[in-house]
Chain A
Amino acid sequence: MTRSSSYLEAARAGMANACLQKSLRNLQARYGQGALAAWRALPDPDLRRRVKARRMQTLAHLDRLLALLAEGIESRGGRVFFAATAAEANRYVLDLARKHGVQRVVKGKSMLSAEIGIDAVLAADGIEVVETDLGEFIVQIAASSASHIIAPCIHMDRQQIGRLFAGRLGIPYSDDPPTLTRAARQALRHKLLTADMGLTGCNLAIAETGQISLVSNEGNIRMATTLPKLHVALMGMERICATLDDHRDLLQLLTQGAALQKLSTYVSFLGGPRHPGDPDGPAAFHLVIVDNGRSRILADPEFREVLACIRCGACLNICPVYGRIGGHAYHSPYSGPIGAVVTPLLHGINRHADLCRGETLCGACREVCPVDNDLPRMLAALRHKLAYGDPGWQVRPHNRREALGFKLWRWLIGNNRRYEVVFRILRALQRPFVGPQGMIDPRAGGQDGWTGGRDLPPLAAASFRERWRTTLGKGRSRREAERRQEQDHAA
């Protein structure tokens, strides 16, 4: 199965999933619109642009800021590892797990962990890996995958989760969310208390103070970073701010954009292992800073700003495409408009060609983005690369037939006479295909390609130039004739 067919299939499956559709409608009505309202109500209307400017300055100094962060953490006895690739990061974490005799890992929600595929690496070594975020836990035991950055199991309803828990946790069937949550709380508490390693992401590190910070509402991340003797945090190299004040601004944009919260229930700041005299906290703390394709994005001024993203998920909550097809079609831990930009940049533009072509470029994601990222511009830039190829990004033209079509178009519009003749013929040919709603039957292309999911307006009865000649043009000649008559009279 090609990526293309899997995108279309997963999109169709998403549109056919009634439970997903209902959840997406609720989510978008509440959080997407809510985030827009929150930005309109900001006391400082310039905040988002100012924060973006700081983000870009931060990226310009990223090398020194990361070094400063590492220095702070190492000064407290923490360890920092710089991983150029997913494989390097996985190898480091696996070696750590082996060295510490780890048998059970409890995870805090981390999209980077899914990006690098650490779970499979640990599991292959016989280590039990347990997701502890409720949504991620549900998705894990259902052998499904997350379909939203913030709400991973949005594609499942309470009945499905009830049946899943009855089968996997051995509880009597219930579809009552509090009962289900309590069952997961009991089951996961045991795992959290007996795990040897906590594995988390990092929402935002602070270079000035040498800390990472993590947000959560459930408290699972606090558990995973407090109870096991070893804490390993995975961090995308761009997830850093220079100062504590930058952190304050970004934190509020993050929790507002994600869930309309002033602050999430918990914001943890961690700068290393437990201090001497601390009764709890991990004895060992390791931060793994991951590149895995990010420096390549950083090097391209056209896409650099996407690294300003703080992964709040607001663009998913507003996007008309994500709102119909859901997250699975994106085939990536990063879905929605942000996923449609970063997934191709991280994992291959040709391989994920459908993502940028599936979005509408309507601009809603830009409007809601807390850091003012111009995602539509970057989606268009990706389409440009797919149309013409780009050796710098190893992109070959995506569709030669499409390219040929555009060449033909150029030839056609190069000469007015030619254009009019061909269009007169096409107008005659299209007649049998115009459907009852006045649109061209989508199967007119004779194949399930570009036309498969789109209705086309038919060619107009006359082109603009033709209308100009026959109607407006006539008006002009009439006026001119009148003027001439007046002049004659005057003479």
Chain B
Amino acid sequence: MPLRTAFLDRIRAAVRDTVDDRLSWDALLAPTDDRAIFAAQAGRTREQRMVLLGRLMEQAAPLNLQVHACATLAEAAECIAALARAGEPEFHDRKSLILHEHPLLRALPLDARPELAGIPCHWTSVDDPRGRDHTLAAFVGITVADWGIAESATLVQLTRPGRPRSTSLVPSIHIALLPLPHLVADLAEAYALIRRAPGSDSLVLISGPSKTADIEACMVLGAHGPRAVHLIVLTGPSLAAGPGFPVARTSRRGY
């Protein structure tokens, strides 16, 4: 503690001359008025959200983020199964999947997909001692993004109990699901949601597959994280308000 006090005292002394022209502490940290942002989100029609989806797809293409629009969970399951069938495992001989413990993923009719026969599906969970091994062995990791950002083709993934960080990182292919109502227009909207989300101290913004251009500025996909990222946007009207989905937190605190 004395070290810390001395450290901060040194800084205070260094900026003594700014006292007269600096903002007050409260003004510096003044909370942003994000009522307009939430009103815009809440008032968005399905058609407007589909326009955002078009924007997302435009932005996703140059980032090699592959976007699939699926109307139903059955369609999403079919899409996942096709991707798992076509993909090649990279670090292991056998194929297996790891899925976030999430009601939306639990609702996917994956068992009904013949393409997945013989491909084990593992679920992340709080107290499975083999969780890490399952993640390391999996060639596909499946998550549900908390939000999507159209402007930059970005997924927002919060760390939650039973929803570890490694699922979107360690497997060679990452598939993320996103209910259309959770697609927001831009970074400002996403930040407003993040600020109000409980437990948002650990999160990641993901814009496409892992990549590097360190060797002669030549772009290579798959540096350390996934080589491919697929975003399945659930566009069906019934999914938007269906039970079991976390609805967009538009009016949690009063406004």
Q: Does the CB pair A158–B28 fall under 8 Å? A: no
CA distance A59 to B166 in the complex (A): 35
Q: Evaluate whether A270 and B207 lie within 8 angstroms (CB atoms) in the complex, with A57-B22, A60-B15 already known.
A: no
A217: interface (CB < 8 Å): yes
A209 close to B195 (CB less than 8 A): yes
Cβ contacts under 8 Å, B131 to chain A: 279-280
Separation of A70 and B11 alpha carbons in the complex (Å) = 15
Min CB distance A31 to B, Å, is 9
User: For the complex, is B209 an interface residue (Cβ under 8 Å from A)?
Assistant: yes
Cβ A291 vs Cβ B25 within 8 A: no
Determine the interface band of chain A, counting residues with CB < 8 A from chain B: 35 or more
Whether A152 and B166, one on each chain, are in contact in the complex, defined by CB atoms closer than 8 angstroms, is no
Complex Cα distance A289/B32, Å? 27
Measured between alpha carbons, how far is A271 from B12 in the docked complex, in Å?
25
Task: Map CB proximity to A onto B49-89 as digits: 1 under 8 Å, 0 otherwise.
Answer: 00000000001000100000000000000000000000000
Within 8 A of A (CB), among B203-242: 203-218, 220, 222-226
Chain B residues contacting A95 (CB-CB under 8 Å) are: none
Shortest A469–chain B CB gap in Å is 51
Q: Is B13 an interface residue (CB 8 A)?
A: yes
Q: Is B223 within 8 A of A63, CB to CB?
A: no
Q: A57-B22, A61-B28, A217-B223 are in contact. Are A177 and B216 (CB under 8 A)?
A: yes
B124 touches A189 (CB 8 A): no
- Docked CA distance A281–B164 (Å): 8
Question: How far is the CB of A431 from the nearest CB of chain B, in Å?
Answer: 49
**B109: CB under 8 A from chain A?**
no
- Whether A219 touches B201, Cβ cut-off 8 Å, given contacts A58-B28, A181-B215, is no
**Do A82 and B216 form a contact, CB below 8 Å, given A185-B223, A209-B201?**
no
B36 close to chain A: CB less than 8 A = no
Check A192 for interface membership: any CB of B closer than 8 A.
yes
Taking CB atoms, residues of chain B closer than 8 Å to A151 are 213-214, 217
* A133 within 8 Å of B (CB atoms): yes
Q: Contacts A63-B11, A227-B166, A275-B161; is A23 near B32 (CB within 8 Å)?
A: no
Given contacts A218-B212, A262-B152, contact A270 B205 (CB under 8 A): no
Q: Which residues of A contact B48 (CB under 8 A)?
A: none
Q: A63-B8, A223-B224 are in contact. Are A134 and B214 (CB under 8 A)?
A: yes
Select A181's contact among B10, B201, B205, B212, beta carbons within 8 Å. B212
Does A90 interact with chain B (Cβ within 8 Å)?
Answer: no
Tell me whether A62 and B223 are in contact (CB under 8 A): no
Total B residues in contact with A, Cβ cutoff 8 Å: 75
Contact mask A264-278 → B, CB, 8 Å, 1/0?
111111111011111
> B163: which A residues are within 8 A, CB to CB?
279
* B39 surroundings in chain A (CB, below 8 A): none
Contact partner of A64 (CB less than 8 A), chosen from B25, B201, B207, is B25
Give, as a whole number of angstroms, the nearest-CB distance from B130 to chain A.
11
From known contacts A61-B22, A244-B195, infer whether A218 and B211 are also in contact, taking CB-CB under 8 Å: yes
Please tell me which one of the listed residues B7, B29, B126, B216 contacts residue A158 in the complex, with CB atoms under 8 A apart: B216
Partner of A218, one of B191, B195, B225: B225
Q: How many angstroms from the CA of A208 to the CA of B223 in the assembled complex? A: 33
Distance (Å) between the CB of A365 and the closest chain B CB?
21
Q: Which of A178, A274, A289 contacts B220 (CB 8 A)?
A: A178
Q: Which residue of B lies closest to A53 (CB)?
A: B23
- Whether A132 is near chain B, meaning CB under 8 Å from some CB there, is yes
- Quick check: A208 and B11 within 8 Å, CB to CB? no
Q: How far is the CA of A277 from the CA of B202 in the complex (A)?
A: 13
Chain A residues numbered 203-241 whose CB sits less than 8 Å from any CB in chain B: 207-211, 217-220, 222-223, 226-227, 237
- With contact pairs A23-B216, A219-B169 given, residues A248 and B187 touching in the complex (Cβ less than 8 Å): yes
Contacts of A263 in B (CB 8 A): 152, 154, 187, 205, 207
Assess the A266–B205 pair: CB atoms within 8 A. Answer: yes
- Name which of A192, A245, A289 has the most chain B CB atoms within 10 A of its CB: A245
CB-based nearest A residue for B218: A177
CB distance from B164 to the nearest CB of A (A): 4
Note all chain A residues with C-beta closer than 8 A to B205. 263, 266-267
Q: Are A188 and B224 in contact (CB under 8 A)?
A: yes
B128 neighbours in A (Cβ, 8 Å):
279
On whether A177 and B220 interact (CB within 8 A), knowing A243-B29, A301-B17, the answer reads: yes
Q: Is the CB of B210 within 8 A of A219?
A: yes
A58 to B63 CA separation, bound complex (whole angstroms): 34
Q: Which of A57-78 contact B (CB under 8 A)?
A: 57-64, 66-67, 70, 72, 76
**Could you write out 26 A-B pairs with CB less than 8 Å apart?**
A59-B18, A60-B22, A62-B11, A63-B9, A63-B11, A82-B7, A84-B3, A158-B218, A161-B215, A209-B195, A210-B201, A211-B201, A217-B212, A226-B165, A226-B166, A245-B191, A263-B205, A264-B207, A265-B206, A266-B206, A266-B225, A271-B202, A279-B163, A289-B7, A291-B7, A298-B11
List B residues at the A interface (Cβ < 8 Å): 3-4, 6-15, 17-18, 22-23, 25, 28-29, 32, 59, 63, 91, 124-126, 128, 131-132, 135-136, 151-152, 154, 159-166, 169-170, 187-188, 191, 194-195, 199-218, 220, 222-226
Contacts A185-B224, A207-B29, A295-B14 aside, 4 further interface pairs with beta carbons under 8 A come to: A60-B22, A60-B23, A138-B215, A158-B218
